[in-house]
């Protein structure tokens, strides 16, 4: 690798860091004779952990950070005076192979600014994936960003070589997107999403009829929404996420706390730091939607349009519905056990399996992995005291579980610690 390519790599890797929708693969590509690399099964890539415990990573880079759009929230917007670079298709392919041979990466996450037009940019992205698969026989993980507005033909071709495709929504509401990115609209975002979905479903039917049909986007698709750049409530964001999850090909919705990169633009809020706590609460709520059988209206509604930043959404729901608690841990069904704060999916399954042999108490629940600090107020069993959420009241339980703020100490003052011996 020459110095020119390394200089481009530095610029383009820095430009790609704001896209968070690349942290999982969910695909398996086993090494075969005559191919290079493999993608081991498990969810998690880009410095995450797979199901087998391995930490796996990918090369996260942009093909170019030049862009014809001037989106207010983007560091790569047309009007920004930042270092710009563009990698040729061959340079990026060689870079990926060289990094793989050095054992730096196990895959590629490739996005790009839009140059000339969406189809021109998308065609270059597809060529990178195609060359890696067909010329270099690369069998590792590839995640491509589908360019909003790209044609069906190019999206379908990309799906033949990529493990995952993603199209970022960025701003949940159309009117706010028009405010910050007047050159974009939601139609250009949702159209490639539909192309991907239709391609996956068609491929699924073809694989039932024909034996050697190549898989189309085996890891599905993902998207990203920026949190805090506009006025959307958590309710608006979660309702959109829930509707996206109704589609069988949508694997993940990612939430990115807005980072104030273009402070000069008056359309953007002046944030001193990204809303990371809110971002975390949205991920927790997203988890409840996907794995805990919650509905959006149970987490947020007109009375509570935003998530509580002090407590997690599951605990918030339980405190709003004390009439449903406490539950008998030795009698309740799986769905209700799953809604107890401090009990996760794995713990709930172990509780159902273990109580067939003996009654469960405090010690057994703690050994299973239940977070008793939270759960004790919402369940009953032989060893637990009767002071549940109903005796203590939701306000009392909240007071016990919310960490008390630490007192700020003025470091300029002299602090004397006296003991009894002095």
Q: Is residue 411 a part of any domain in this protein?
A: no
pLDDT confidence tier of residue 115, bands split at 50, 70 and 90:
very high
Q: Are residues 289 and 376 in the same domain?
A: no
Q: Is residue 34 a part of any domain in this protein?
A: no
- How is 254-306 classified by DSSP, letter by letter? EEEEPP---TT-TTS---SS--HHHHHHHHHHHHHHHHS---HHHH--SS--S
Average pLDDT of span 197-212: 89
Q: Specify whether the CB–CB gap between 252 and 24 falls below 8 A.
A: yes
Give me the domain span that covers residue 214: 1-17+40-297
pLDDT at 11: 87
pLDDT at 5: 85
Task: Measure CA of the first residue to CA of the last residue in the chain; give whole Å.
Answer: 68
Instruction: Please tell me which of 55-59, 78-82, 125-129, 140-144 the model is most confident about, judged by mean pLDDT.
Output: 125-129
Structure confidence by residue, pLDDT tens digits, 232-277: 999 999 999 999 999 988 999 999 999 888 888 889 988 888 899 9
pLDDT at 50: 42
- Give the chain's domain count: 2
Q: Are residues 163 and 285 in the same domain?
A: yes
- DSSP state, 323? G
Q: Are residues 56 and 196 in the same domain?
A: yes
| 65/81 Cα distance (integer angstroms) | 12
Q: Are residues 108 and 68 in the same domain?
A: yes
Q: Is residue 217 a part of any domain in this protein?
A: yes
pLDDT at 400: 92
What are the φ/ψ torsions at residue 159 (nearest 5 degrees)? -65, -20
Q: Are residues 239 and 104 in the same domain?
A: yes
Pairing of strands 48-49, 55-56: antiparallel
Q: pLDDT at residue 97 above 60? A: yes
Q: Are residues 241 and 292 in the same domain?
A: yes
Give the chain's mean pLDDT.
86
**Tokens 């959006």, residue?**
296
**Tokens 């172990």, residue?**
350
Q: Which residue has the higher pLDDT, 351 or 416?
A: 351
Structure confidence by residue, pLDDT tens digits, 148-184: 999 999 999 999 999 999 999 999 999 999 999 999 9
pLDDT confidence tier of residue 33, bands split at 50, 70 and 90:
low
Q: Are residues 274 and 333 in the same domain?
A: no
Residue 342, phi-psi category: left (phi > 0), alpha (psi -120 to 50), beta (remainder):
left
pLDDT confidence tier of residue 26, bands split at 50, 70 and 90:
very low
Average pLDDT of span 16-38: 57
pLDDT at 404: 75
Least confident of 71-85, 368-382, 396-410: 396-410
Q: Which residue has the higher pLDDT, 213 or 34?
A: 213
Q: Are residues 69 and 125 in the same domain?
A: yes
Q: Which residue has the higher pLDDT, 305 or 107?
A: 305
Q: Are residues 286 and 316 in the same domain?
A: no
Q: pLDDT at residue 128 above 70? A: yes
| 46/65 Cα distance (integer angstroms) | 21
pLDDT confidence tier of residue 7, bands split at 50, 70 and 90:
confident
Least confident of 16-30, 116-130, 258-272: 16-30
- Residues of the chain above pLDDT 90, percent: 64
**228-262 burial by CB neighbour count: b if 16+ within 10 A, else e?**
bbbebebbbbbbbbbebeeeebbbbbbbbbbbbbb
Structure confidence by residue, pLDDT tens digits, 38-91: 544 332 235 544 434 455 578 888 999 999 999 999 999 999 999 999 999 999
Q: Are residues 142 and 273 in the same domain?
A: yes
Q: Are residues 214 and 362 in the same domain?
A: no
pTM summary value: 0.85
What are the φ/ψ torsions at residue 344 (nearest 5 degrees)? -100, -175
Q: Are residues 206 and 112 in the same domain?
A: yes
Give the distance between the most distant pair of CA atoms in the chain: 88
Beta strands in 147-265 (DSSP E): 164-166, 221-227, 250-257
Q: Is residue 118 a part of any domain in this protein?
A: yes
Coil, strand or helix: which one is 195? helix
- DSSP state, 340? S
What CATH number does residue 122 fall under? 3.20.20.70
Q: Is residue 406 a part of any domain in this protein?
A: no
Q: Is residue 32 a part of any domain in this protein?
A: no
pLDDT at 55: 58
Alpha helix (H) ranges present in 321-415?
334-337, 345-354, 362-368, 372-375, 389-401
Q: Is residue 421 a part of any domain in this protein?
A: no
Closest CA to 137 of 45, 37, 215: 37
- Residues of the chain above pLDDT 70, percent: 86
List the beta bridge partners of residue 56.
48
Q: Is residue 407 a part of any domain in this protein?
A: no
Structure confidence by residue, pLDDT tens digits, 274-327: 899 999 999 999 999 999 999 999 999 999 999 999 999 999 999 999 999 999
| 13/100 Cα distance (integer angstroms) | 16
């Amino acid at each position: 690798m020459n110095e020119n390519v390394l200089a481009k790599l530095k610029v383009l890797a820095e430009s790609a860091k704001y896209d968070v929708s690349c942290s999982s693969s969910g695909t398996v590509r086993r090494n075969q004779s005559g191919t290079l690399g493999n993608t081991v099964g498990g969810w998690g890539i880009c410095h995450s952990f797979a199901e087998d415990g391995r930490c796996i990573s990918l090369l996260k880079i942009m093909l170019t950070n030049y862009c014809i759009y001037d989106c207010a929230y983007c560091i790569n917007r047309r009007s920004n005076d930042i270092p710009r670079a563009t990698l040729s298709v061959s340079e990026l392919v060689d870079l990926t192979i060289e990094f793989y041979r050095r054992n730096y990466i196990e895959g590629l996450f490739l996005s790009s600014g839009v140059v000339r037009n969406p189809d021109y940019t998308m065609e270059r992205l597809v060529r990178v994936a195609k060359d890696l698969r067909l010329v270099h026989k690369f069998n590792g993980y590839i995640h491509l960003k589908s360019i909003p507005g790209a044609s069906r033909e190019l999206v379908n071709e990309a799906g033949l070589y990529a493990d995952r495709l993603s199209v970022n929504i960025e701003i949940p509401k159309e009117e706010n997107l028009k405010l910050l990115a007047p050159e974009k609209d939601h139609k250009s975002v949702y159209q490639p999403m539909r192309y991907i979905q239709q391609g996956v479903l068609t491929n699924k039917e073809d694989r039932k009829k024909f034996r050697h049909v190549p898989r189309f986007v085996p890891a599905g698709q993902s998207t990203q929404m920026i949190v805090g750049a506009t006025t959307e409530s958590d309710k608006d964001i979660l309702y959109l996420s829930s509707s996206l999850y109704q589609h069988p090909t949508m694997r993940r919705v990612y939430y990115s706390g807005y980072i104030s990169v273009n402070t000069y633009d008056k359309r953007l809020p002046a944030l001193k730091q990204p809303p990371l706590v809110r971002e975390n609460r949205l991920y927790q709520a997203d988890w409840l939607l996907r794995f805990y059988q919650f509905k959006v209206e149970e987490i947020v509604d007109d009375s509570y349009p935003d998530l509580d930043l002090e407590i997690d959404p599951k605990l918030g729901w339980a405190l709003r519905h004390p009439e449903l608690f406490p539950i008998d841990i030795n009698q309740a069904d799986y769905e209700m056990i799953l809604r107890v704060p401090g009990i996760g999916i794995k713990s709930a399954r172990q509780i159902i399996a273990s109580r067939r042999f003996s009654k469960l108490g405090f010690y057994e629940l703690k050994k299973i992995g239940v977070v008793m600090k939270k759960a004790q107020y919402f369940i009953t069993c032989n060893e637990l005291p009767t002071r549940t959420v109903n005796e203590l009241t939701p306000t009392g339980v909240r007071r016990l579980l919310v960490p008390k703020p630490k007192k700020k100490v003025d470091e300029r003052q002299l602090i004397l610690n006296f003991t009894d011996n002095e």
